Every structure is written in C-alpha cells, then in structure tokens.
Structure 1
Amino acid sequence: MVLWIAGAGGVGREALDVALAAGVEVAGFLDDRQAGSTVRGLPVRTPAELPPGAGYLVGIADPAARARLAGLLDAAGGHPVTLAHPRAIIAPETELAPGCLVMGGAHVSSSVRLGPHSQVHYNATVGHDTRLGARVTVYPGANVSGAVRLEDDSTVGSGAVVLQGRTVGRAAFVGAAATVTRDVPPGTTVVGTPARPLPRRAPAP
C-alpha cells in the first residue's frame, strides 16, 4: 500500500512518522499551500492531483478542514486509510473506521469505536466502551474515561480529562488540562477544573 497524506503541517508530518514506524510507504503530501515544494524529502502536490484509487489519510487537526478535504478526496476517487503506530495499544473488540490516525503511546481500550477520520494523538488514552464520532480529535496526553461519547467534530485538548460516562457534544472543544465532570453541550468550549463554559466576550462598544 502506498499512502498520500493530506496536510503537510505538524499533524501531517506526525502522520508520516506513524507511517514510517508502521512500514507504510508514503508517496507524498497533498497541500494547496505548499504544493510544488518538498517536505521531509517527499513531494507536495495539490489535493486535486491525488491519483485515482489511491489511499489517503488526512493529517490535519481542524475537524472542518478534515471534513472538507476528505469529501474532496473521496470525490476524486481516493479511499481513506487507517494508520496506527506499532507502539499504540489497541485492545480487542475495538473498531477503527476508515481514515483514523492513532499515534505512538496511545492506549485505546476494549470495545471502543472510533468514527471516520478520528485522531488519537500520542500518549492519549481512551477508555472501554467509549464512542468517538466522525472527525473527533483527542490531543496528546488526554485521558478519556470509559463509556464516554465524543460526538462528531469534537476535540479533547492536551492533558484534559473526561470522566466516566460523560458526553462531549458535536463540535464542542475541551480546553487543555480541563476536567470534564458533566456533559458538554454541542458547540461549547469548556476550560478549567471542573470544566466550565468559556465566558463570551461582550461586543465592543
């Protein structure tokens, strides 16, 4: 299998690290902003230049950008590939949908389901029976407990903790080092311990 990585930024290069560790050949990067250049010795092309039928992985942290690129590459005839570092722990009865990225040191426990194009970054943990929707991001060192629901496009920041049985709503964002002790409504950013919604700034006079 030869893989193309969409996104030549930080997460894209980390995805390349995972591919190299897993023995997966990477043909190059797909990135409009850096097209025509070389990154880590690999060519960078535009997403429109993905060869028909090629495998791809979106190495971008932003869920909206991930959704846009995945749709574009699917329409071009590509197919999403799941990539897991050999030093990640993925327990039995756990399902990884197409396009997932699991980095080194991550621990994904028993009977977990990761939705399409979700990411579990290095040294993060995901507890038993947890469900990740599409394009969910669990940042480095985060601890997601058992039976948690992370809905589509939600993000758990670096070092954050989501306690047992909680739900983080669609497109919600859990700030770095926050501790989620109650459900997070869709579209909400929460910070602190215990996590509370980030106050909205008053409009300028």
Structure 2
Amino acid sequence: MTSATAPRGLWIAGAGGLGREVLDTALAAGVPVAGFLDDAPYSSVRGLPVRRPAEFEAGARYLIGIADPAVRRRLAALLDGLGGEPATLVHPRALIAPDTVLGPGCLVMGGAYVSSSVRLGAHSQVQYNATVGHDAVLGERVTVLPGGNVSGAVLLADGATVGSNAVVLQGRKVGEDAFVGAAAVVTGDVPPGEVVVGSPARPLRKDRPATD
C-alpha cells in the first residue's frame, strides 16, 4: 500500500464487533474512516477495505477497536513502530466534563459520561453508557465496558478492565491487568492480575468461568 493509493482518514485496528462500533462512533462524529486493519481474511467490512496491520502506512492515523488490553498493547507497539499516529475519538452523545484529559488513542462511545478532573491514559476505552467519576485516574489500555460505573477518585491501573454494569466504589484501586466481572460491586482494592466477581466482589474461583 503506497501513499498514492492509500485512502485518507482513520484506520480502525480490528474489524470485529467493537471495530464496527468504532466505525459507528466515527460516522456519528463526522470523522472519515479509510478502512480496517485486521489479520483475518476479510477483503472488506461495511464497504471499507481491510488491510493487514503490517501494511499500515507511516503517518496515518489509527484507533484500536479491540477490547482486550493485551492485544491493544501489542497493536499499539506495532503501529507506532510503523510510524502511525494514535487518534482519540469521542462520540457526539458522550459527555466530557471540564479539566479532563484524554490520552492518545482513547475511545469514548455514545452515552458515556466522563466527569471532571479525570485522566485517561493512552488507548483507554469508555464504552457506551459507562460512567467515570470525578478525579478518577485510568492508566493505559484501561477498558470500561458498557454500563460500567467507575466512582470518583478511583485508580484503574494499566490494562485493568471493568465489566458491563459493574461498579467500582469511591476511592478504590484496581490493579494492573485486573478484571472486574459483569455486575460486580468492588468495595475494596483489587490486586494486580486478579479476577473478581459478585457483590461484594470476591476473587474468582479457579473452577468457575468469568462472568464477562
């Protein structure tokens, strides 16, 4: 793919369900989309071309439409190494309060509310109808899945995930790469790498699958 033939606009890394929702967000925000980046054998998705990530062109803008933080970390490293520029995308029906900073590559979807004095690290996602309270700090590649509620002054470390309709109470800390299951209520700090479920949230038993 050369600069003479490459379509202009945003490239979405990931052509699956979330990638298509990123496309919907871009269309609502009036952001032109050039196509998708994916290793799957698609030729096109929703009428847009699909290229392999290794074919990405230096200087082009991208956003990663994949929920898995580990995959986002790998793809960001690849695309940055190829000279890509991470873009931040906010749906016009999302609300971002004053004194809030969104890092490069962030995604905020429709119906989301991010309160005042919040910090979102690079490649973090606040998905549709999720909320993030005042003074919260989200590290890099954090994911707040649909309907998740992050209260004020919460710290979500790099790679943490808050599941659909889960709640993290005021001032709590969720460690690096930890996972809060769907509808869980986090009343205490969550150690790095831990998977917690239930209300109040407790570590997942090894013989029971995660709920999100």
TM-score, length basis structure 1: 0.96
Q: Which residue of 1 aligns with 2:132?
A: 126
Where does structure 1 lack aligned partners over 5 or more consecutive residues?
A: none
Moved over 6 A (4+): none
SS at match of 2:34: strand
Q: 1:84 aligns with which of 87, 90, 95?
A: 90
Q: Which residue of 2 aligns with 1:29?
A: 36
Amino acid of the residue matched to residue 22 of structure 2?
A
Amino acid of the residue matched to residue 9 of structure 2?
V
Deviation for aligned residue 1:34: 3.1
Q: Which residue of 1 aligns with 2:158?
A: 152
Give aligned-pair identity as a percent: 74
Q: Partners in 1 of 2:181 and 2:149 — Cα distance?
A: 13
Q: 2:26 aligns with which of 13, 19, 23?
A: 19
Q: Deviations over 1:90-148 (max 9, x none)?
A: 00000000000000000000000000000000000000000000000000001100000
Q: Deviations over 1:70-90 (max 9, x none)?
A: 100000010100000000000
Residues 8 and 34 in structure 1, CA contact (< 8 A), matched pair in contact too: no
What value does the CA root-mean-square deviation take over the aligned residues? 1.1
Residues 134 and 152 in structure 1, CA contact (< 8 A), matched pair in contact too: yes
Amino acid of the residue matched to residue 66 of structure 1?
R
Q: Which residue of 1 aligns with 2:59?
A: 53
Q: 1:193 aligns with which of 177, 187, 199?
A: 199
SS at match of 1:93: coil
Q: Partners in 2 of 1:170 and 1:153 — Cα distance?
A: 6
Q: 1:74 aligns with which of 74, 80, 93?
A: 80
Amino acid of the residue matched to residue 146 of structure 2?
P
Q: Partners in 1 of 2:182 and 2:121 — Cα distance?
A: 22
Deviation for aligned residue 1:2: 1.3
SS at match of 1:56: strand
Q: Partners in 1 of 2:58 and 2:198 — Cα distance?
A: 46
Q: Partners in 2 of 1:21 and 1:162 — Cα distance?
A: 29
SS at match of 2:74: helix
Q: Partners in 1 of 2:58 and 2:104 — Cα distance?
A: 17
Q: Partners in 2 of 1:42 and 1:12 — Cα distance?
A: 12
Q: Which residue of 1 aligns with 2:44?
A: 38
Deviation for aligned residue 1:10: 0.9
2:145 is aligned with 1:139? yes
